[in-house]
Structure 1
Amino acid sequence: MERGMTVIFSWFLLFTFIVPGCHASLDGRGSLLESFKERLELLEKSLQMRSTHAHVETLEKKLELYIMKNDRLLQENQALKQRVETLEEQLTSKVEILTTDVSDMQKKIDNCQSEVYKLYKQNFTDFVSYENLFNTNPSEDQKAAISNQGVHTSIQKRIVPPTSEPRDQVAFYAYMSTNEPANLPRHHTLIFDTVKTNMGLGYHKGDGIFIVPTAGLYVFSWTVTVEINGWASVEIVVNAEVQGAAFAEDFNNWDSGTGMIVVNVDAGDHVFLRMQENGRAVIHSNVRGRTSFSGWKLQ
């Protein structure tokens, strides 16, 4: 390009100054000069257009690359989204299956314990706490008592048949291990998670419900304790029917209220405690005073 400009400029000097005789007048020389200027401007414009066109082509190529990269990223993002959704569905399905398996396993464990309890009652006349059978670290005295009892009963059955059926004993006692949250709502079921006695395996600490093992006349008792400025009214329910209620209230000190009922119930009936109305402050339970639930079969 620079070489072409040099040649043009040389011709311009030649025709302008070296060969002045080729032109008749100054007007002719001026016309030639104007012609050269126009040609130079055209050449400059042409060069500028070529340069701009090349720059535009470069930008277009870069834009195409960016568009291709963006499309690829969108595809990858869509693939990842689908994979996450698939994994979520698989995880949800597995959780549901595991939940069902755990529920079935718990039912089998409950049935197994019930069967063990029945066998235990059939083979032992002197009743030792059933919970000792499932104690992973029994004391030496417990081991000896159960072992000796088994031998003694086995010998008795072979020599002297039992004169009566095994005693049908049902009794439970449980209390709250800690305070309940403040302001419990109406019909909130109270759960007594620390079980001290559960002969007959009727009480379930998971939901606070006593399921009657055998029909008969039962006594149920409960105690509720509140702290300062507390209020709690607790009712006892057999299936869907309220059988009694007790309350505790105090503005200056702690207070306790106790209720007791005697009622005929059938096997499979559900007995539990719940808030009779909305409470105020917390229901108290610690070593100084326990909120508790108990019951036993009279006959």
Structure 2
Amino acid sequence: MTETNTDGIYSTNTGIFKAPSTGMYAFTWTICVDSFTDDDGYGEFGVELVIDGKICGKIHADTEVRTDDQCSTGFVIKCMTEGGAARLRNIYVHQGRLLSNENRARTTFTGWKLNKLILYLAKYI
């Protein structure tokens, strides 16, 4: 489910976020793995953020026992040019399933352009 997609810069078909203009962008992504699997195994996922073909961040979530759902979150700030592409991809063959529902946890991917004022203030803190 896509909550907000201003100007259609995120494609729900491809999973690609396209920078509408050159600037600094922030990305955050969260994966949650479900410890209740059908195959008597446990959940384990690794996901990386790829921006313009380069790996910019990685996260990993792993459950080891039943009722031990796990989540992991990544955060990256990166300069992008207009039309640049950001997306998530699996690092390896996963085990189990992602957990994303209203009752327990959400798996997410978010990107936004930073304001110049925020960057200016961060420079002096």
Higher strand share: 2
Partner of 1:201: 8
Partner of 2:30: 223
**Residue 74 of structure 2 corresponds to residue 269 of structure 1:** no
Structure 1 stretches of at least 4 aligned residues deviating more than 3 Å after TM superposition: none
For residues 200 and 249 of structure 1, the distance between their equivalents in structure 2, rounded to whole angstroms, comes to 35
- Given that 1:238 and 1:271 are in contact with CA atoms closer than 8 Å, whether structure 2 keeps it comes out as yes
Secondary structure at 1:206 match in 2: coil
For residues 198 and 275 of structure 1, the distance between their equivalents in structure 2, rounded to whole angstroms, comes to 23
Partner of 2:38: none
Paired letter, 1:231 = E
Q: Give 1:239 shift.
A: 1.8
For structure 2, the residue ranges without an aligned partner over 5 or more in a row are 36-41, 116-125
Pairwise CA RMSD: 0.9
Work out which of the two has the higher radius of gyration on C-alpha atoms and give 1 or 2: 1
**Residue 42 of structure 2 corresponds to residue 235 of structure 1:** no
Q: Give 1:212 shift.
A: 0.8
- Given that 1:201 and 1:213 are in contact with CA atoms closer than 8 Å, whether structure 2 keeps it comes out as no
Q: Deviations over 1:49-90 (max 9, x none)?
A: xxxxxxxxxxxxxxxxxxxxxxxxxxxxxxxxxxxxxxxxxx
For residues 296 and 270 of structure 1, the distance between their equivalents in structure 2, rounded to whole angstroms, comes to 13
For residues 7 and 79 of structure 2, the distance between their equivalents in structure 1, rounded to whole angstroms, comes to 17
Paired letter, 1:198 = N
Total equivalences in the alignment: 106
Q: Give 1:264 shift.
A: 0.2
Partner of 1:249: 62
Alignment TM-score, normalising by the size of structure 1: 0.35
Partner of 2:108: 292
Q: Give identity over the alignment, percent.
A: 32
Q: Give 1:200 shift.
A: 3.3
Alignment TM-score, normalising by the size of structure 2: 0.81
Q: Give 1:295 shift.
A: 1.2
Question: Which has the higher relative contact order, 1 or 2, with Cα contacts under 8 A spaced 6 or more apart?
Answer: 2
